[in-house]
Amino acid sequence: MTEHAVRRTPKSTDLDKLHIVIEDIDAIAHGGFSGIAAIAKLALAALQTPGGYRDPENIVQALKVIWDKAQDVQNLINCEAESVGCNHKDEELDQRWDARRAAQTEKHEKPQCIEADKPEPEPDLKTVH
């Protein structure tokens, strides 16, 4: 092995891994988005007939499947990208989730009452002349 080939081996390995991940992302996107497109086309076709309006629950279910599939594809692509350190990070979304967790923690914490913090009882005005 030449000196040049030895230096390229780690990069080639990284490039090979990146190539595999990109192919996986492409397959995930193709499968997921093809399914979403097909369901959306069927829902739109149903809305072009009176039957689509007589039973709107079918459209509702189609939209739910589209939503679920889109989230699944998003998560799968993010996981694949993360495996090579290239995932998208939404810092504002992370901050919102941190704030939500903090709010839930505060909601579930019971306030501790310290004896010194208790207010003195109000005097009974009925007995005072």
Q: Mean pLDDT by 10-residue block, N- to C-terminus, for the chain (129 residues)?
A: 48 87 95 97 96 93 96 95 90 92 82 55 56
Exposed, middle or buried: residue 76 (CB in 10 Å: 0-12, 13-18, 19+)?
middle
- Residue 62, pLDDT score: 96
- Residue 126, pLDDT score: 59
- Residue 6, pLDDT score: 44
- Residue 5, pLDDT score: 45
- Residue 114, pLDDT score: 54
Distances (CA, A) of 9 to 1, 4, 21: 11, 9, 18
Is residue 46 within 8 A of residue 59, CB to CB? The reply is yes
Whether the model pTM is above 0.85: no
- Residue 2, pLDDT score: 45
